[in-house]
Amino acid sequence: MSIFMIFRIALKALNRNKMRTALTMLGMIIGVAAVITMVALGTGAQSSIEAQIATAGTNMIIVQTGNFTQGGVRQGQGNASTLTPDDATEIAKLPGVQYAAAGLQTRGQMIAGNQNWNTQAQGTDVDFPLIRSWQTAEGAFFTSIDVTTASKVVVIGSIVRDQLFGPDVNPVGQVIRIQNQPFTVVGVLASKGQSGMGQDQDDVAFIPYTTVMKKLRGVTFIQQVQVSATSATEVTAVADRISSLLRVRHKIQPGDPDDFMVRTIEEMANVRKEATQTMTALLASIAGVSLLVGGIGIMNIMLVSVTERTREIGLRMAIGARGRDVLLQFLVEAIVLSLFGGGIGIALGFGFSQAVTIWQGWPTAVSADAVAIAFGFAAAIGVFFGFYPARKAAALDPIDALRFE
């Protein structure tokens, strides 16, 4: 018997009980759609994290001050005062370093006219927008002369602009007061949204780090140095060079702990990426249970079909059909159920993924691998769960089958 004829008979047999066939496929449809949707959610989350890493800065390395201990009380990372502007200058000279920007932070009330807003004032250097690939929407970033002279100039984020001056207002040239000191607005940064840690990157004001040191905080140290390596392959090597340089400059003896911390963006994102991958695998596994249930449903219906069509099987074998023809017939019916259900499930998976993106705003990405795996798994389930009923049908004795009532 030709394979074409086998498919025709299979479709006719399934078409006799449309409702039962549809309900049988439903388990497979739900399973495949669930797998694709869940994997799309996980893939979209990973893509979002990678995009956030890219917007945080290309090949970025962050050098921070380390632990500070006073009276036996350990203050934790970021509280030491051992990192200096000279450290930042020497870091910028290292091979593989493209940009470097010293920085420290403060916080205060910002006042413009009769409006005020409490936000973070971040002291930084002229390389900062180059490291972070951050453009200005209005005006320009401050210059190296502003840093050298500790000028009272400020570049604000879009949230600060909206709160102090109103949306779509160009505040360049306006004066705002920070800790009761006047600062001239020289630029407004383009909106960047939330960071990977959930912080609003637009709710900030950038000031020359020398101004923060001398006129806002009255200190001689910095809290961090943001560094950009010349290429992605140089990141690890540059981080090691920075650690070696600072250990020498800070006179740290072999075996003693660092009084600074060097981290790359990839290191900081690894935990979130691993958690996302684990969650994706968990969701896909749960969705995979639906496929298993769908496969059991197919086997159940095929066993019922064998019982209902026992006389038909006996008649076909009596007129010359071989056991393998009957085996192939029922196996093809199970596979057709799986593949039709898998095809509809793939379409629904795409639809559900788009719906989640539109209604919930969650990023999703349907990968070709997920589609191929889901469809292949559907076919494999058809073969696996259809084989037993097909073999049972092929093993029937023609005489007993013809006598079956």
Please give the pLDDT value at position 132: 86
Q: Do residues 94 and 212 both lie within one domain?
A: yes
Q: Do residues 90 and 182 both lie within one domain?
A: yes
Q: Do residues 176 and 201 both lie within one domain?
A: yes
As a whole number of angstroms, the distance between CA 171 and CA 159 comes to: 12
Look at the chain and report how many structural domains it folds into: 2
Please give the pLDDT value at position 258: 85
Q: Do residues 344 and 212 both lie within one domain?
A: no
As a whole number of angstroms, the distance between CA 202 and CA 160 comes to: 7
8 A C-beta contact, residue 112 and residue 236: no
Q: Do residues 283 and 167 both lie within one domain?
A: no
Please give the pLDDT value at position 70: 45
Residue 161 covered by a domain:
yes
Residue 25 covered by a domain:
yes
Give the phi and the psi of residue 240 in degrees, each rounded to 5: -65, -40
Q: How far is CA 42 from the centre of its chain?
A: 7
Residue 263 covered by a domain:
no
Q: Do residues 314 and 382 both lie within one domain?
A: yes
As a whole number of angstroms, the distance between CA 28 and CA 376 comes to: 12
Q: Do residues 126 and 189 both lie within one domain?
A: yes
Termini Cα distance of the chain: 27
Please give the angle made by the CA atoms of 211, 58 and 126, to the nearest 5 degrees.
20
Contacts of 81 (CB under 8 A, 6+ apart): 65, 68, 219, 220, 221
Please give the pLDDT value at position 225: 94
Residue 305 covered by a domain:
yes
As a whole number of angstroms, the distance between CA 394 and CA 258 comes to: 75
Q: Write out the DSSP string of 218-258.
A: --S--SEEEEEESSGGGHHHHHHHHHHHHHHHTTPPTTSPP
8 A C-beta contact, residue 364 and residue 331: no
Instruction: List Cα–Cα distances, 347 to 229, 350, 368, 371, in angstroms.
Output: 44, 5, 13, 10
As a whole number of angstroms, the distance between CA 333 and CA 190 comes to: 59
Determine the residue type at 60: M
> Which of 258, 291, 326 is the last residue in one of the domains?
258
Q: Do residues 148 and 205 both lie within one domain?
A: yes
Determine the residue type at 113: G
As a whole number of angstroms, the distance between CA 329 and CA 167 comes to: 69
The per-residue pLDDT string of the chain (405 residues; one tens digit each, 9 = 90 and over) reads 566 666 676 677 677 777 777 877 787 788 788 778 877 877 777 666 656 655 555 578 899 887 544 444 344 454 567 899 999 999 999 999 999 999 999 988 999 989 999 999 999 999 999 988 889 999 999 999 999 999 999 999 999 999 999 988 999 999 999 988 999 999 999 988 766 555 678 899 999 999 999 999 999 999 999 999 887 778 889 999 999 999 999 998 888 888 888 988 765 556 556 666 676 677 667 666 766 777 777 777 777 776 666 666 666 677 766 767 777 777 777 777 777 888 888 888 888 888 878 887 777 777 777 778 777 777 777 777 777 666 766 676 666 655 555
Q: How far is CA 359 from the centre of its chain?
A: 18
Q: Is 173 exposed, middle or buried (0-12, 13-18, 19+ CB in 10 A)?
A: exposed
As a whole number of angstroms, the distance between CA 381 and CA 255 comes to: 58
8 A C-beta contact, residue 63 and residue 260: yes
Tell me which residue range forms the domain holding 332: 3-52+271-403
259 secondary structure, DSSP code: S
Residue 303 covered by a domain:
yes
Please give the angle made by the CA atoms of 261, 96 and 230, to the nearest 5 degrees.
100
8 A C-beta contact, residue 116 and residue 139: no
Q: Do residues 288 and 354 both lie within one domain?
A: yes
8 A C-beta contact, residue 259 and residue 248: no
> Which of 258, 293, 324 is the last residue in one of the domains?
258
Please give the pLDDT value at position 190: 92
Determine the residue type at 243: S
State the helix-helix crossing angle for 265-308 and 323-360, rounded to 10 degrees: 140
Residue 57 covered by a domain:
no
Residue 15 covered by a domain:
yes
Q: Do residues 231 and 293 both lie within one domain?
A: no
8 A C-beta contact, residue 133 and residue 55: yes
As a whole number of angstroms, the distance between CA 276 and CA 272 comes to: 6
Residue 360 covered by a domain:
yes
8 A C-beta contact, residue 375 and residue 292: no
Residue 125 burial (CB count, 10 A): 26
As a whole number of angstroms, the distance between CA 61 and CA 235 comes to: 7
> Which of 235, 258, 281 is the last residue in one of the domains?
258
Q: Do residues 108 and 252 both lie within one domain?
A: yes
Q: Do residues 252 and 277 both lie within one domain?
A: no
Contacts of 282 (CB under 8 A, 6+ apart): none
Please give the pLDDT value at position 73: 38
